[in-house]
Structure 1
Amino acid sequence: MGQSPYSTTSEIFATGGEGYLKEDHTPSTLPERREEILKLRRSLKPAARGVGAENAFLSGKAGQGKTAAAKAELAELQAFATAEDLELTTVLFSCEGISSSYTLACGLCEELGGTNPNGHPMQKVLDHLWEAMNQVGGTIIIVLDEIDNLGTDDKILYSLPRARDKNYVNDDVYPSVIGISNDLQWRDNLDPAAKDSLYDDSIFFAPYDANDLRDILSRRASKAFRDTDLVYENPDGETFTISVDLDGDDESLDTAFEARGIDRGACTLRGIDSGVLSEDVIPLCAAYAAQDKGSARQAIKYLRKAAAIAESEDSPTVLGDHVRAAQDEAERELIIEGMEQLTTQGHLALAAVTILELANETDVRTRDVYDVYKSLTNDIDADQLAQRRMRDHLIELDMLSIIRARKSASGSVGGEAYTFELRVEPSTALDVLEAVSRFDDVDFNTMTQNWLRE
């Protein structure tokens, strides 16, 4: 019997190394976020003196290290508090899927007190929360990740930071809140009183540039891949390599420098020396991500996918072509996710264009799309929009890179005329649409054949 395709032996990944390219890996240090971490540290420092930390708001696009920075700095603070015998409790709470102050308050009750008072009136829930804080005592730092999911329901965001001033908690309790958001505008929509009480300090995480991303990828690659070392340059311009211990995370890098008697802070990371990654792999991953969102998460995803593609092809080396294939694959996945999350009207507009394209009609005009759209709304008993409103949904699909909208000089009555075609494979769009429960009774094949006969 030949070797199983699921053999655990990899010619590219180091044993256990793939975990360093996963989304749930949190590095213990973030050199590219030194300034932001110093600002966060100023906000947290009062907690090291046994009183409440300042409230803070961390904002920036996804993949900019906001959550990782908060986790790393809170871990440092918690270690200090333990050593100094300070009363400190930290809670990292994800607001994903939470859209109300009520649900958040119930979740915090469970985190701090072990019981969830769901079903009780809001005031009773808050009473449970204050009592849970009193039982815990000391400094309590609550990190609310993806806080913008709460929308404008800011009752608890007003109450939490003022719990001490309002005598909701005992004198020995010091609560504070760190909010983390990918939505840069969300805070502006809060009630002024909630906004003023919640955020003493605001820290913005700007998108990483290509150089930042190259350094981040280099550090990850040194642990993820076989025969891959970091290359540093000392102040005299001399380069040397550093091998990183997989088990030690970033601390092992400091240990390696200490063993050589070299000051890490005085040296510059120049990249990697790798037997499995070609020289253009990390620069390409960094460039693609920097040109798009400046997201470390995105850059790491490109690197992970490129290595997986190379391995699936039995290639002993990850090449630039593998990165390009990974980027194409990631873009397709993103577009598919965008199609899946459309509203019913968005799905109807997409379905109409898809049916026409399956019938070999491309660059179709708005009125043709609208004819199919009307038939679909009747089939699924959905609200039927006017042609102009339906066209607005088509233009939104163009903005999402799902379809392509082309505008000509004028329409039949002097307005703007558009033609539309899919940017994705019709079969891909059809797979997404057939998975939408609202379209369970729609026979796309029959509708396509009917249009062909017309």
Structure 2
Amino acid sequence: MDLDEVLEDESETDQGLFDDLLSGKPIFENKEVLRPSYTPHELPHRTDQINKMATILVAALRGETPSNILIYGKTGTGKTASAKFVSQELEATSEKYDVPCRVEYINCEVTDTQYRVLAQLANTFIERNQAYVEDRLTDLEDLHERARVDSAILADSNYDSLGDLQAEIDRLEADRAEMEPVPMTGWPTDRVYSTFFEAVDYVERVAVIMLDEIDKLVEKSGDDVLYNLSRMNSELENSRVSIIGISNDLKFTDFLDPRVKSSLGEEEIVFPPYDANQLRDILTHRADVSFKDDALSEDVIPLCAAFAAQEHGDARRALDLLRTAGELAEREQAEQVTEEHVRKAQDKIELDRVVEVVRTLPTQSKLVLYAIVLHEKHGVRNINTGEVYNIYKRLCTEIDADVLTQRRVTDLISELDMLGIVNAVVVSKGRYGRTKEISLSVPVDETETVLQADSRIGDVGDVSPFLQARFDGDHN
């Protein structure tokens, strides 16, 4: 074997796991632009809402308290992106004019209790206060050193003597020592609130608190935290607090205390769904930044927009679809994203949604669904409620779960139908009465896999469906 052959062999063996994947032509320029977390510099078709927010929040730049704002709209209508965009502009302008204004964002789907919200806010402001104190101490200690050499320097300061200056340094050091962060559990809620109150009021500032998915917080923890936040301004001395609440649920204020409702909803902004043309503009705007030149075929963006328009004009869905289509094309090492990739992406996203819905079902609903899956696995179609109930009871026995009544199981089947997991149709069986015929609306194998990932259902042995005599309409 000559030297060239040896080198060729070595180069082939040097090919690592990722080399082939990296050898393809990249499709994305910046994929992050297509993610929900990205805040664009421009938001098409949301100028009116952004301008309204700005006219309300400009009060903060004058050192005044802005009105509280409630923002409504369905998922993917640009609520959070618009609010974050305005917040970034507000903070940038406040720095430009040296006005103390801060926006604090909290996702209430994650931070979903009064304790957690207050603790997160308290710790954020404690960190800001610590940074402020550190900066002040650095400046004052430097002044102290210079004043010891030449006390005349103090004439241009706020301190009449070295003693006054030292007293201020001592006060700040004492404050710093007392700035204790709030643990994520363990304190009484009133202590957490008072810690937050003291932290936010430590220096003069306007604090805008943005509560995204605010309805989730109210649903889980009630409106106590909103009541506390909305009444703070009457007690604060140095600072002012304004609240921006963002909700997918237009009716969530119906559950609020009237006092909270009136103070929280001082200003309301509604974000309507996007139509297909608007979605196309948004996708084109993002695609220009996120994809390489000529990476998309002409029909990709219109198709993504059309699919998302069917889902109540959800821009987030449209962006997910475009990103997923790009990822699928990249995995195939295709040179361009095509309509086929979009359709595959649509199927994948829908399957992912179903998997997540099934995974988070309560145990009883999972058992009912598993009973339906077992029937379908054994080739049974148009399953009726009685057949599902028989297998459901056996599954409950297997895992030692409570057996619900057939009426309750029928309700659970209706809930699965509403979620789009099963299709349940009431049909007449003539003299045998009416019954529900049930079939799966989702892939059997994937659904079974997700259900069996639940440790309790995974322990179930082989339960072959007990098939009753079937009464079809053509039998008399």
TM-score (norm 1): 0.83
C-alpha distance in structure 2 between counterparts of 1:411 and 1:394, whole Å: 23
SS of equivalent residue, structure 2 residue 66: coil
1:370-391 CA-to-partner distances (Å, cap 9, x unmatched) read 1000111112222211112101
Kindly indicate whether the alpha-carbon contact (under 8 Å) linking 2:390 and 2:466 is maintained by their aligned counterparts in 1: no
Change (3 A) 1:184 1:411: farther
SS of equivalent residue, structure 2 residue 103: strand
CA shift, 1:34, in A, is 0.5
Kindly indicate whether the alpha-carbon contact (under 8 Å) linking 1:11 and 1:226 is maintained by their aligned counterparts in 2: no
Match of 2:205 in 1: 138
Alignment pair present for 1:187 and 2:239? no
Give the alignment partner of residue 436 of structure 1, picking from 454, 457, 475: 454
Match of 2:174 in 1: none
C-alpha distance in structure 1 between counterparts of 2:112 and 2:88, whole Å: 28
Kindly indicate whether the alpha-carbon contact (under 8 Å) linking 1:12 and 1:307 is maintained by their aligned counterparts in 2: no
Alignment pair present for 1:125 and 2:192? yes
1:185-233 CA-to-partner distances (Å, cap 9, x unmatched) read 2122111111111121111111111111111110111112222xxxxxx
Alignment pair present for 1:164 and 2:226? no
Match of 2:103 in 1: 90
Letter in 2 for 1:64: T
Match of 1:231 in 2: none
Match of 2:329 in 1: 310
Change (3 A) 1:192 1:211: same
Change (3 A) 1:73 1:10: farther
SS of equivalent residue, structure 1 residue 151: helix
Kindly indicate whether the alpha-carbon contact (under 8 Å) linking 2:24 and 2:333 is maintained by their aligned counterparts in 1: no
C-alpha distance in structure 2 between counterparts of 1:425 and 1:92, whole Å: 39
SS of equivalent residue, structure 1 residue 428: helix
SS of equivalent residue, structure 1 residue 183: coil
CA shift, 1:297, in A, is 1.0
C-alpha distance in structure 1 between counterparts of 2:119 and 2:263, whole Å: 21
Match of 2:158 in 1: none
CA shift, 1:9, in A, is 5.3
C-alpha distance in structure 1 between counterparts of 2:296 and 2:189, whole Å: 56
Match of 2:438 in 1: 420
Kindly indicate whether the alpha-carbon contact (under 8 Å) linking 1:359 and 1:451 is maintained by their aligned counterparts in 2: no
C-alpha distance in structure 1 between counterparts of 2:323 and 2:303, whole Å: 13
Alignment pair present for 1:11 and 2:63? no
Give the alignment partner of residue 70 of structure 2, picking from 53, 57, 69: 57
SS of equivalent residue, structure 1 residue 140: strand
SS of equivalent residue, structure 2 residue 463: helix
CA shift, 1:423, in A, is 2.0
Kindly indicate whether the alpha-carbon contact (under 8 Å) linking 1:353 and 1:421 is maintained by their aligned counterparts in 2: yes
- Matched positions, count: 399
Kindly indicate whether the alpha-carbon contact (under 8 Å) linking 1:98 and 1:149 is maintained by their aligned counterparts in 2: no
Moved over 3 A (4+): 2-10, 410-414, 450-454
Name the one with the larger helix percent: 2
Match of 1:46 in 2: 59
**Segment of structure 1 superposing worse, 123-132 or 20-29:** 20-29
CA shift, 1:399, in A, is 2.0
C-alpha distance in structure 2 between counterparts of 1:126 and 1:184, whole Å: 28
**Segment of structure 1 superposing worse, 201-210 or 100-109:** 100-109
Change (3 A) 1:412 1:127: farther
Supply the RMSD in Å over aligned alpha carbons.
Answer: 2.1
CA shift, 1:366, in A, is 1.0
Match of 2:149 in 1: none
Compare CA radii of gyration and give the structure with the larger one: 2
CA shift, 1:33, in A, is 0.5
Q: What percent identity do the matched residue pairs reach? A: 39
**Segment of structure 1 superposing worse, 306-315 or 322-331:** 306-315
Letter in 2 for 1:435: A
C-alpha distance in structure 1 between counterparts of 2:266 and 2:431, whole Å: 57
Match of 2:140 in 1: none
Match of 2:364 in 1: 345
Kindly indicate whether the alpha-carbon contact (under 8 Å) linking 1:52 and 1:139 is maintained by their aligned counterparts in 2: yes
C-alpha distance in structure 2 between counterparts of 1:322 and 1:417, whole Å: 41
Alignment pair present for 1:336 and 2:355? yes
Change (3 A) 1:409 1:78: same
C-alpha distance in structure 1 between counterparts of 2:266 and 2:339, whole Å: 46
Match of 1:324 in 2: 343
Change (3 A) 1:223 1:129: same
C-alpha distance in structure 2 between counterparts of 1:352 and 1:132, whole Å: 55
Higher RCO structure, 1 or 2 (CA under 8 Å, sep 6+): 2
C-alpha distance in structure 2 between counterparts of 1:385 and 1:413, whole Å: 24
1:227-261 CA-to-partner distances (Å, cap 9, x unmatched) read 2xxxxxxxxxxxxxxxxxxxxxxxxxxxxxxxxxx
1:117-166 CA-to-partner distances (Å, cap 9, x unmatched) read 5422222221111101111431111111111122251112012122122x
Alignment pair present for 1:447 and 2:463? yes
Change (3 A) 1:108 1:126: same
SS of equivalent residue, structure 1 residue 180: strand
Give the alignment partner of residue 244 of structure 2, picking from 175, 178, 184: 178
1:82-125 CA-to-partner distances (Å, cap 9, x unmatched) read 11111112211121233332332122111211411542222222
C-alpha distance in structure 2 between counterparts of 1:312 and 1:292, whole Å: 27
Change (3 A) 1:51 1:438: same
CA shift, 1:320, in A, is 1.2
Alignment of 1:256-295 (within 5 A): 275-295=294-314
Kindly indicate whether the alpha-carbon contact (under 8 Å) linking 1:147 and 1:181 is maintained by their aligned counterparts in 2: yes
Give the alignment partner of residue 413 of structure 2, picking from 373, 394, 397: 394
C-alpha distance in structure 1 between counterparts of 2:279 and 2:349, whole Å: 18
CA shift, 1:413, in A, is 6.1
Match of 2:159 in 1: none
C-alpha distance in structure 2 between counterparts of 1:163 and 1:424, whole Å: 50
TM-score (norm 2): 0.79
CA shift, 1:451, in A, is 4.2
1:334-371 CA-to-partner distances (Å, cap 9, x unmatched) read 11111111111210110101111112212111111110
Q: Which runs of 5+ in 1 are unaligned?
A: 228-274
C-alpha distance in structure 1 between counterparts of 2:278 and 2:456, whole Å: 45
